[in-house]
Structure 1
Amino acid sequence: MAVPARIGDIPAFADIQALSELMDDGVLLCRGNGRPLHANSAARALVPETENALAALVALLPAGAMGASRITGRWNGDLALTDGRILQVRAYHHRHPGDEGYLLIVFHDISEAHARQQELQRRHAQLRQTLVRLAGTQEQLLQSEKMASIGQLAAGVAHEINNPIGYVHSNLGSLQEYLHSLFALIEMYERALRAPDPKALLPEIDDMRARFDIDFISGDLPQLMAESREGIERVTQIVRNLKDFSYSGRDDSWKLADLHAGLDSTINIIWNELKYKVTLEKRYGKLPLVQCLPSELNQVFMNILLNAGHAIAERGRITVTTGTSTDADEVWIEIEDTGGGIPEDIQQRIFDPFFTTKPVGSGTGLGLSISYGIVKKHNGQIEVRSKAGEGSCFRITLPIRQHGRSES
């Protein structure tokens, strides 16, 4: 079938051929019924060493491509060749008045772009795996630093437990003696009740009361029991605090928590480390419940309080102050010490991992770095004000609510 010199307002066919040869994309022109009319060099190169290149190009098209383009006027999709190349195929249908019209199919090689996309997806998957590993490593570092801190405090905590256990043990010894004396006196009273003349045993009873000092036992026994109960409660509190700090937080959830309770719990744990050289002053304001991960914030408080204690050489003061911001959507905690301070030239590095000013072997350099990460995780800020020789003040600012998170 002869091709008309002009197709509607389309330039002469010879001009179309010439223009198509200038294109880097493959171009195939067909009649509306799918009969191929012309393919440029770029299109024929897609089916090399083929006797009927036009028919081979038509055969490359996915099933339904031509039919869909006749209905909607256009179609596009991707095509994978046997040699591994990927083509983007676009088909356009123009219906000429009085006949079936024409189809224009454009083949655009997207192999490189597809390969880059595949590479990006591969690298994205690798980055996701790396991120998961980093998250796991961060959690391990957090737990490692927490347990290292508790390890350093173990002797002090043992001392704190031994004190109440010691006097409870002593009180139990006294109680055993008191019970022996009371049971002996009770037995004497029972003998008197069974005797024909109970009054005859009264001198012996009075002698036993004086010898066992029953009046002293009566006064000392309630005090002894109260001290023992207080000691046991003290041990229970220490164990509860240790349990909170040794908990890894893996199953921890965001919840509304009392930050003052967290501060008090932290101070109880580390107090034996501080009490011999530190005067602690609390200036608690009125705080609302804060949505947070309580055990992680306790780790921050412990790290900063311990650093404050280590900064004090002999005697000094640590002041813990809390309050709410003026717009009442944030709370802040300040921990200030009267220690040696931080030189200005290293203040920018104190939150870097593994940076420490402590002697080798006495610090991991992770405490403030992990604290910084925890505060950022809470969408908060941690700042330091310090001058060498004048002490330091760490200020932690936290939002009261975490947007987009629900608490348990």
Structure 2
Amino acid sequence: MSHAEHQRAAQLLRDLEQANSQLLQSEKLASIGQLAAGVAHEINNPIGYVFSNLKTLADYVRDLLEIIDASDRVTSLEELQALKQRLDYGYIRDDVRALISESEEGIERVKSIITALKDFSHIDEEDFVAADLHRGLETTLSLVNNELKYKAEVIKEYGELPPVECLPSQINQVALNLLTNAVQAIDGRGRIVIRTGCDTERAWFEIEDTGHGIPAEHRERLFEPFFTTKPVGEGTGLGLALSSSIVQKHGGRIEMASEPGRGSRFRVWLPIHQPHDSAPEPDPR
């Protein structure tokens, strides 16, 4: 091969790497959009009833202020008591407590979602850190709860795990992709089991579903970019490619087992400790 041909081949390789990076970035943005829609729905529900409660509380405060102001002008206690009875003071007194308690619960739910979103993203993450994989799984579950709750019962079978050196936001992205695939594989309602465990050098987590499974002829191509078994318009075929890229850059691997008609199981193996001279690769997303 001539020098010019070497140069053309090197340039082609660089172009392909850039195109791959752009495609993975597109998949990342698509999953963020899907995640944002789910988070918006989860937040909208508690915000909705807190807003409704505030409107009711405003009416109660108006009535309570009328009772207080009346105490300065009534000529008898009986007249004040009649006003309290007309405004149903006893009911207001009890319902105010319930409305405040319910509203506090709603705000706490919103706070927990926001905390989970922050834990999920780790926007400023640059270095490998010793992370709690269980916390990452829980925050990811919290964010996809809107999709999960209508489709599957979630069963957690967590083992004992040490902290795992990783880029938590990227591992959360892998968990998000696998959970989303598990939900989409289930027709009607099913079950998703999340398990964790470890040996002396590696930790793992796996997601198993009771979905339609993966035909044998598709299994060798699952992690290829653009390969998807979903209908046109419902999948880019980049989710598992992205997940595989992230796990490989952590020095790990993904195992898959599936039986058509009975479900699939994806297990992610990660080294507990990264080599001391390792540095994070550029974000594959």
Normalised by the size of structure 1, how large is the TM-score? 0.62
CA-to-aligned-CA distance 1:105-130 (integer Å, 9 cap, x gap): xxxxxxxxxxx9xx59x968x85995
**Unmatched segments (≥5 aa) in structure 1:** 1-115, 193-199
CA-to-aligned-CA distance 1:264-285 (integer Å, 9 cap, x gap): 1111221211211211111122
Q: Over aligned residues, Cα RMSD in angstroms? A: 2.9
Question: Structure 2: which amino acid aligns with 1:307?
Answer: N
Aligned partner of 2:208 in structure 1 is 336
Which of 37, 54, 69 in structure 2 is aligned with 1:187? 69
Q: Does 1:147 align with 2:29?
A: yes
Q: Does 1:219 align with 2:91?
A: no
Which of 130, 154, 157 in structure 2 is aligned with 1:280? 154
CA-to-aligned-CA distance 1:16-43 (integer Å, 9 cap, x gap): xxxxxxxxxxxxxxxxxxxxxxxxxxxx
Deviation at 1:390, TM superposition (A): 1.4
8 Å Cα contact 2:46/2:106 also seen in 1: yes
Question: Structure 2: which amino acid aligns with 1:157?
Answer: V
In structure 1, C-alpha distance between the alignment counterparts of 2:160 and 2:94, rounded to whole Å: 43
Question: Structure 2: which amino acid aligns with 1:218?
Answer: R
* Count of paired positions: 279
Which of 212, 231, 234 in structure 2 is aligned with 1:359? 231
Aligned partner of 2:43 in structure 1 is 161
Question: Structure 1: which amino acid aligns with 2:61?
Answer: L
Aligned partner of 1:391 in structure 2 is 263
Structural mapping, 1:165-314, within 5 Å: 165-191=47-73, 200-242=75-117, 252-314=126-188
CA-to-aligned-CA distance 1:311-367 (integer Å, 9 cap, x gap): 111111000011122x2x211101000111111121111011110000111100000
Structural mapping, 1:91-110, within 5 Å: none
8 Å Cα contact 1:291/1:407 also seen in 2: no
Moved more, 363-372 or 269-278: 269-278
Question: Structure 2: which amino acid aligns with 1:172?
Answer: L
Larger radius of gyration: 1
Q: Does 1:372 align with 2:244?
A: yes
8 Å Cα contact 2:129/2:167 also seen in 1: yes
Structural mapping, 1:65-84, within 5 Å: none
In structure 2, C-alpha distance between the alignment counterparts of 1:306 and 1:349, rounded to whole Å: 19
Which of 204, 218, 223 in structure 2 is aligned with 1:346? 218
**Unmatched segments (≥5 aa) in structure 2:** 281-285
8 Å Cα contact 1:355/1:366 also seen in 2: yes
Structure 1 residues 206, 312: closer, same or farther in 2, change over 3 A?
same
Q: Relative contact order, CA 8 A, sep 6+: which one is greater?
A: 2
Normalised by the size of structure 2, how large is the TM-score? 0.87
Deviation at 1:176, TM superposition (A): 0.3
In structure 2, C-alpha distance between the alignment counterparts of 1:168 and 1:155, rounded to whole Å: 20
Q: Does 1:403 align with 2:278?
A: no
In structure 2, C-alpha distance between the alignment counterparts of 1:382 and 1:131, rounded to whole Å: 27
CA-to-aligned-CA distance 1:38-85 (integer Å, 9 cap, x gap): xxxxxxxxxxxxxxxxxxxxxxxxxxxxxxxxxxxxxxxxxxxxxxxx
In structure 1, C-alpha distance between the alignment counterparts of 2:156 and 2:20, rounded to whole Å: 32
In structure 2, C-alpha distance between the alignment counterparts of 1:400 and 1:156, rounded to whole Å: 31
Moved more, 209-218 or 374-383: 209-218
In structure 2, C-alpha distance between the alignment counterparts of 1:358 and 1:262, rounded to whole Å: 27
Deviation at 1:251, TM superposition (A): 5.2
Structure 1 residues 206, 318: closer, same or farther in 2, change over 3 A?
same
